[in-house]
């Protein structure tokens, strides 16, 4: 329970309140007692000054009766007056019945040699409070002693103490509840995220955290959490698709190979027929190996384990080389392949073999999907801080619904079923372009042709030549 953040925050709130309010009340208490004491001393001093004047003017007889009268007015149990000789003998006094044991301090009397007045607090038997006493030199060998019992003032201070304690206790309860309420409110969002996470971990993978849209930290956490879940969801869906596609694409050639093997076992075919069958087995096996190799290459590149051989690659030259390779193939099919490249080198830092593969895959597709009589333009040109490679064909184009998926692994357009291919060509090209921090995009008008554009970063943002990983 003590690990709960709500409880800990509540305790902190309450503790801070208790400390700060106690400190404030304590300072107020000190000020109160100090000012009360000062007031009492002031009162005693002015009383003493008055009586001293009277003593000087009228002598000891008069002062004795004044002591009695004054004490009676204020209450004989609250105040007493005495005139003492320097060695402490009582010369005159008010009614001292309520002050039986009250004595005097010889030290205080002696100290009057150097100052005008001296104060002390004396205990009185039968009283809870001490009496505050002032000594003033009234004349030669005559010291005026006035004692005052600050009962009312002390009671007031005591009341203050009691009220303060009650205030602190009530404040503790109030601040504790307020703290609990606020902490719960603040942390309710965390609770929401936790609940969602628990229910997702129990299998409810579609569950998302409710966002309250007030833009606070918890909301941002919830949104980040939901985005992360969406991303994981997409990855899992992709993984499932890829797995089922892999299974499907590997199963078809394997089934064919098995079929041929069965025929070989049971049949009594001619040698020529067997040769043909073995030829098919080799072809299917090559297809399988091709799929597996391409998948491995994509996986290696995407996971960053593939070693890149980064050098300065002249794209103009790369385009010319590709032209040399593909020109005969295009010509055979009656397609006009043209290139447009700058006369000067167009250098990027990259892995030459992999960039060649990108161009080859795009050209291969263009040739495959362009009818005889069509044309293909392969070009390389400089763009602001980038190099642009593009393959434009006048082929059959890509239907709108296929366009967003052609870079997905194993995705093949409907019309591609009868055409050789495994749906990995563009995925591989995309993986290779991305590892160069470039982009690859496709535009197409069905029936008119397609354009594939590769943008690669140039000098300032180039990967360093010793780059071995993505
Ligand atoms: P594959 O060519 O092996 O089927 P790709 O990944 O290279 O796989 O291409 C995926 C799909 O994109 C193809 O099946 C085809 O439908 C479509 N496609 C690619 N390039 C072109 C193009 N130049 N013209 C028309 N369709 C294309």
- pLDDT (tens digit per residue) in 360-402: 999 999 999 999 999 999 999 998 889 999 999 999 999 999 9
| Site to substitute for ligand 1 among 412, 429, 430, most atoms within 8 A of C-beta | 412
Task: Specify burial of residue 13 (Cβ count, 10 A radius: 0-12, 13-18, 19+).
Answer: buried
Q: How far away, in angstroms, is 375 Cα from ligand 1 center?
A: 17
Ligand 1 atom index nearest CA of 396: 25
Ligand 1 atom index nearest CA of 393: 23
Residue 25 CB neighbour total at 10 angstroms: 18
What pLDDT is attached to residue 1?
58
What kind and span of H or E run contains 145? strand 142-148
Q: How far away, in angstroms, is 337 Cα from ligand 1 center?
A: 18
* β-pairing verdict for 336-340 and 375-383: parallel
What pLDDT is attached to residue 417?
66
Residue 320 near residue 339 (C-beta atoms within 8 A)? yes
């002693």: which residue's tokens? 145
Closest alpha carbon to 369 in 389, 391, 406, 394: 394
| Distance (Å, whole) CA 245 – CA 248 | 5
Residue nearest to atom 8 of ligand 1 (CA): 423
Ligand 1 atom index nearest CA of 413: 16
| Distance (Å, whole) CA 322 – CA 353 | 12
Residue 422 near residue 291 (C-beta atoms within 8 A)? yes
Cα 396 vs. chain centroid, distance in angstroms?
A: 52
Closest alpha carbon to 331 in 294, 290, 366, 373: 373
330: helix, strand or coil: helix
Residue 427 near residue 409 (C-beta atoms within 8 A)? yes
| Distance (Å, whole) CA 468 – CA 470 | 7
Residue 282 CB neighbour total at 10 angstroms: 11
Residue 310 near residue 351 (C-beta atoms within 8 A)? yes
Residue 300 CB neighbour total at 10 angstroms: 14
| Distance (Å, whole) CA 318 – CA 378 | 11
- Residues in the ligand 1 pocket, defined by CB under 6 Å: 365-366, 369, 393, 395-398, 402, 406, 411-413, 416, 421-427, 450
Which residues does residue 136 pair with via DSSP β-bridges, in sequence order? 117, 144
What pLDDT is attached to residue 235?
83
Contacts of 303 (CB under 8 A, 6+ apart): none
Residue nearest to atom 26 of ligand 1 (CA): 398
Q: How far away, in angstroms, is 62 Cα from ligand 1 center?
A: 129
* End-to-end C-alpha distance for the chain, whole angstroms: 47
Write out pLDDT tens, residues 316-360: 999 999 999 999 999 999 999 999 999 999 999 999 999 999 999
Residue nearest to atom 19 of ligand 1 (CA): 365
Q: How far away, in angstroms, is 300 Cα from ligand 1 center?
A: 22
What kind and span of H or E run contains 467? none
What pLDDT is attached to residue 470?
38
Q: How far away, in angstroms, is 256 Cα from ligand 1 center?
A: 24
Under-50 pLDDT residues of the chain? 461-470
Ligand 1 atom index nearest CA of 415: 16
DSSP calls for 405-432: GTTSTT---GGGTTSS--S-HHHHHHHH
Write out pLDDT tens, residues 424-470: 999 999 999 999 999 999 999 999 999 999 999 986 544 444 444 43
């Amino acid at each position: 329970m003590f690990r709960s953040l709500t409880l800990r925050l509540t305790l902190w709130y309450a503790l801070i309140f208790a400390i700060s309010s106690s400190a404030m009340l304590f300072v107020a208490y000190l000020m109160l007692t100090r000012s009360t004491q000062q007031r009492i001393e002031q009162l005693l001093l002015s009383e003493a000054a008055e009586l001293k004047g009277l003593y000087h003017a009228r002598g000891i007889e008069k002062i004795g009766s004044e002591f009695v009268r004054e004490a009676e007015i204020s209450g004989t149990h609250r105040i007493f007056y005495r005139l003492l000789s320097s060695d402490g003998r009582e010369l005159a006094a008010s009614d001292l019945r309520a002050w039986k044991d009250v004595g005097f301090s010889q030290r205080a009397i002696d100290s009057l040699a150097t100052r005008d007045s001296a104060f002390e607090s004396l205990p009185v038997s039968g009283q809870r409070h001490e009496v505050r006493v002032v000594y003033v030199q009234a004349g030669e060998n005559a010291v005026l002693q006035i004692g005052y019992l600050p009962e009312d003032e002390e009671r007031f201070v005591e009341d203050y103490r009691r009220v303060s304690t009650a205030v602190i206790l009530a404040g503790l309860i109030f601040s504790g509840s307020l703290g609990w309420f606020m902490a719960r409110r603040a942390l309710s969002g965390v609770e929401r995220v936790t609940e969602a996470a628990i229910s997702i971990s129990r299998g409810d993978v579609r569950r998302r955290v409710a966002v309250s849209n007030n833009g606070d930290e918890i909301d941002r956490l919830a949104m980040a959490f939901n985005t992360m879940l969406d991303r994981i969801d997409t990855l899992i869906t992709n993984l499932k698709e890829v797995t089922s596609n892999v299974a499907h694409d590997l199963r078809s050639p394997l089934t064919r190979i098995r079929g041929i093997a069965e025929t070989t076992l049971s049949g009594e075919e001619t040698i020529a027929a067997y040769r043909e069958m073995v030829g098919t087995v080799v072809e299917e096996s090559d297809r399988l190996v091709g799929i597996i190799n391409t998948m491995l290459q994509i996986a290696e590149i995407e996971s960053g384990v593939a070693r890149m051989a980064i050098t300065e690659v002249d794209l103009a030259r790369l385009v010319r080389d590709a032209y040399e390779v593909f020109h005969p193939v295009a010509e055979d099919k009656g397609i006009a392949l043209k290139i447009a490249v700058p006369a000067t080198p167009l250098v990027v830092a990259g892995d030459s073999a992999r960039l060649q593969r990108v161009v080859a895959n795009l050209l291969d597709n263009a040739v495959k999907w362009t009818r005889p009589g069509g044309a293909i333009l392969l070009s390389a040109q400089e763009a602001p801080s980038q190099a642009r490679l593009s393959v434009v064909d006048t082929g059959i184009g890509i239907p709108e619904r296929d366009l967003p998926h052609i870079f997905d692994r194993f995705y093949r357009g409907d019309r591609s079923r009868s055409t050789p291919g495994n749906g990995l060509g563009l995925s591989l090209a995309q993986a290779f372009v991305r590892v160069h921090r470039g982009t690859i995009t496709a535009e197409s008008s069905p029936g008119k042709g397609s354009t594939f554009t590769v943008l690669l970063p140039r000098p300032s943002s180039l990967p360093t030549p010793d780059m071995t990983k993505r």
